[in-house]
Structure 1
């Protein structure tokens, strides 16, 4: 018995030996007012930006504004009993989110809590939502292609792993469809995807998740959701949460893709928060630091060099325009931050060109450096020829008479425009795209009526899938195969 009692006594003696008398001080604040997702607090003089604050009723907030008399915080969780007079304390912690492979196939909120009715995902650690972007010495040149499965993008506006490519256009033109096609096309390619939904209706959120599940893309995708009914603070944090999740995989040496759908809603939400916090408005009533907010988010997307794991994070932010006004404040900000943009045009959409990508306004500033040499060889002069065709086509509308060479350009351009059309949720492998590129450049399709192209394209795609040819094969091998695939049609 004496031996058994010795253990607790020894522990008690050790605790008493380490105990030191001292004054224990803890700051206690008090809620002055609360409303619209904003809480004003009196006290807490040592608070800093982005500090977490807890309230005695269980609510939580993050410090967003430091005033002379009042502390402005954005609510992350609000109980029904939060009111003026409620006490508040600093947690001495910053915002973190669980990260790891356990998040694959899950739908979570910006704080990592599950939204799919399943238990909390198993995490391999936690990561700050706000962190510094990788330094220059840790970055590498974008040198590997990220295929979207969309013909017009992979050939004329290519994207590389680690690139930031903006998708811009009016509502209802298929911006989200391009992003979904890209995610679906990553199946089996070792790319982990994060899809961030900001301020969307619950029906849209459910439809997006069900689409990913139907096409078996949810197994390698994490969906971060801050729906329209969520607190403004959660909608503000959503893109940073998605970036943190993808950033963890990037630092593990993996390739990741993150979709921000969309940053226009995020900017409007940030403007709302800033006006409620009594910050001075700037252009279009947006606060002056909206550029900084999006810049520090998108600058975290990059391609790391081998010494830092060799991972990559490709960002496809989506932004909305009004009546095609690409010179608006938020679109111009994002265009200046990103490495290129894919512009969707309403006139093309109405005329039946799907996807309605305006080749003249779309550009990829670094994706060409990552394009496979075989694809680059076939598509080098295609964009210039297509733009020349569009310019010449305007003259034919006025009844202008053209030379035979010009008519050939117009005929070839119309064939190319039909070739670039593609249904949504039907991404094509790069081998299938290589087949029609070779067929077009060798003139096999020039004499074909544009209305008769779909069956020929289907024939080329089936042939490319069955042949086992890849981009490393010689052009002569591709030419021979293309002639054989089209042989029956040419004989007919």
Structure 2
């Protein structure tokens, strides 16, 4: 005889199932790997996949949909291609590539996906932002009116940078591009700016050297290092600068100023060309794909000084690009020059003359930063450019051995002293007041005829005198006040006294 209790429980179960919400069947799209290349994969069977969608491979590697064709997908891998095998399953995620953002990243070294690379444990941030984002609209921006002090005399005086500007650092190999970017980053110790250094395709030892300099300079707690080295997958190098901009946007949305160094976009362009050719995209000039300009335009347009409606912060970008044999008219350099708001050109000819930083003021220009420059610096910068331009022209002429008159010899002496005054050691950023005092002393003839060692000692003495005797110069620069003749005379007298205290030549016979 059947158990009555069992029948009752079965009926209750059937009644509960009838009243519950029906479970719909889940549709899961699964593709397969057709072929694998160096950094890319060809996938079939995912007809509904979207451009830039993130795909998950069975081996654990992830990839971005790059090419959409009727029967195949071109996928850029974000991990080692050696892990993939032909025929393995691939699934859609319905997501785009994102990177963790927020204060939890400060002081950390991460890869382009936000994974820690410093051995200090996982990142505490759970907020993800897409690496690709639309640039702010015109009405959401404000003019560049605040200066970004680099601490480098040649730049702050003659090629100024403003908060929200895109200033290109360009030059041949081994001319000091990274050094200027790192010195600018270290000079933000006196500001509240957040600094992001993005290494794209750099050697591991080069990145370690930069990290060491930032740590020694006391800026690591306000810096974020995003590293995509040459040993990583090309896909990580491709998304690294976009990830850096997303991290910077998270701080700008909260009203903070962010400084982003992209070192360098030459490697980024070469990585994109490599991936495009592997995916058999049609090549154009120098084998670059047709959208190479858009690659960097959509990246750098995300910088700017933003309106209070979207946070009121700013993103200043210092992209680095490498030239070959001083060829500024090459494809990638001309693209970036046309996108950015000016360039700092580092000349190998100045490097050969032991002139560091090797900033060529004849070619370097800032199309925006002059509006954010202090009036005191603006007065000095005009004379500085004229003095150096006349000096370089006469220097070329004097090589012919022609007998020179007294006026020409005096101009050559003054120009050489002014150029020597622009020399500056690495990791030695200078406050604005000290820069201005040294430049005024040089252009007034106090450094004329000095040896290199004597010039270095004189500049150090002038800087010490400015720090010890507060003439109100720093306040005038901060308040954007014009430098009066009386104030200029006081600065020159203080510099003359500092040089005279060294003994010997004090500039009075110049």
Report the TM-score, using the length of structure 2 for normalisation. Answer: 0.90
Partners of 1:32 and 1:327 in 2: how far apart? 41
Distance 1:171 1:187, change over 3 A: same
Contact 1:374 1:472 in 2 (8 A): no
Question: 1:267: which partner in 2?
Answer: 269
Q: After TM superposition, give the deviation of residue 479 of structure 1 in Å.
A: 3.2
State the distance in 1 between where 2:43 and 2:19 align: 40
Q: Does 1:166 align with 2:176?
A: no
Q: What SS class does the counterpart of residue 350 from structure 2 fall into?
A: helix
Q: 2:71 aligns with which of 50, 69, 72?
A: 69
**1:489 to 2:499 alignment:** yes
* Corresponding residue number in structure 2 for 1:149: 151
Looking at structure 2, the residues matched to 78 and 159 of structure 1 have their Cα atoms a distance apart, in angstroms, of: 39
Higher radius of gyration, 1 or 2? 2
Q: What's the counterpart of residue 250 of structure 1?
A: 252
* TM-superposition CA deviations, 1:171-221 (whole Å, max 9, x none): 111111111111111113111110011111111121211121111121111
Q: Following TM superposition, by how much is the alpha carbon of 1:93 offset from its aligned partner in structure 2, in angstroms?
A: 0.7
1:472 pairs with one of 469, 475, 478:
475
Q: Secondary structure at the match of 1:256?
A: strand
- Does structure 1 residue 285 correspond to structure 2 residue 295? no
Counterpart contact for 2:47–2:71, Cα < 8 Å: no
User: Could you tell me how far 1:21 is from its partner in structure 2?
Assistant: 4.9
Q: Does 1:438 align with 2:440?
A: yes
| The 10-residue stretch of structure 1 (406-415 or 331-340) with the greater mean CA deviation from structure 2 | 406-415
* Contact 1:58/1:79 (<8 A) preserved: no
Could you tell me which residue of structure 1 aligns to residue 242 of structure 2? 240
The equivalent residue for 1:425 is: 427
Q: Verify: 1:88 aligned to 2:90, yes or no.
A: yes
- Matches of 2:122 and 2:199 in 1, distance apart? 20
SS at match of 2:142: coil
SS of 2:96's equivalent in the other structure is coil
Contact 2:461 2:499 in 1 (8 A): no
Closer, same or farther: CA 15–449 of 1 in aligned 2, 3 Å:
farther
Matches within 5 A, 1:299-448: 299-446=301-448, 448=450
The DSSP-based 3-state class of the residue aligned with 2:151 is: coil
Post-superposition offset of 1:445 = 3.5
Aligned with residue 35 of structure 2, among 30, 33, 36: 33
Question: Number of paired residues?
Answer: 481
Q: Distance in 2 between matches of 1:488 and 1:71?
A: 70
Query: Residues 465 and 494 of structure 2 are in contact (CA less than 8 Å); yes or no, is this contact kept in structure 1?
Result: no
Maintained 8 Å contact 1:149/1:182: yes
Q: Helix, strand or coil for the counterpart of 2:90?
A: strand
CA deviations over 1:420-470 (Å, ceiling 9, x no partner): 011112111111102113323444444656652211110111122233434
C-alpha change, 1:243 and 1:400, in structure 2 (3 Å) is same
Return closer, same or farther for 1:57/1:155 CA change in 2, 3 Å cut-off: same
Q: CA deviation at 1:311?
A: 1.0
Q: Give the unaligned 5+ runs of structure 2.
A: 1-14, 477-482, 504-510
Residues 27, 149 of structure 1: alpha-carbon distance in 2 compared, 3 angstrom cutoff? same
Q: Which residue of 2 aligns with 1:10?
A: none
Once the two structures are TM-superposed, the CA of residue 80 in structure 1 deviates from its matched residue by 5.6
Question: 1:477 offset after TM fit, Å?
Answer: 4.0
1:79: Cα distance to partner? Answer: 7.4
Gaps of 5+ in 1: 1-12
Distance in 2, matches of 1:106 and 1:15, equals 52
The CA deviation at 1:249 is 0.8
Mean CA deviation greater in 410-419 or 299-308: 299-308
Measure, in 2, the Cα distance between the counterparts of 1:479 and 1:14. Answer: 95
CA contact (8 A) 1:101 1:124 kept: no
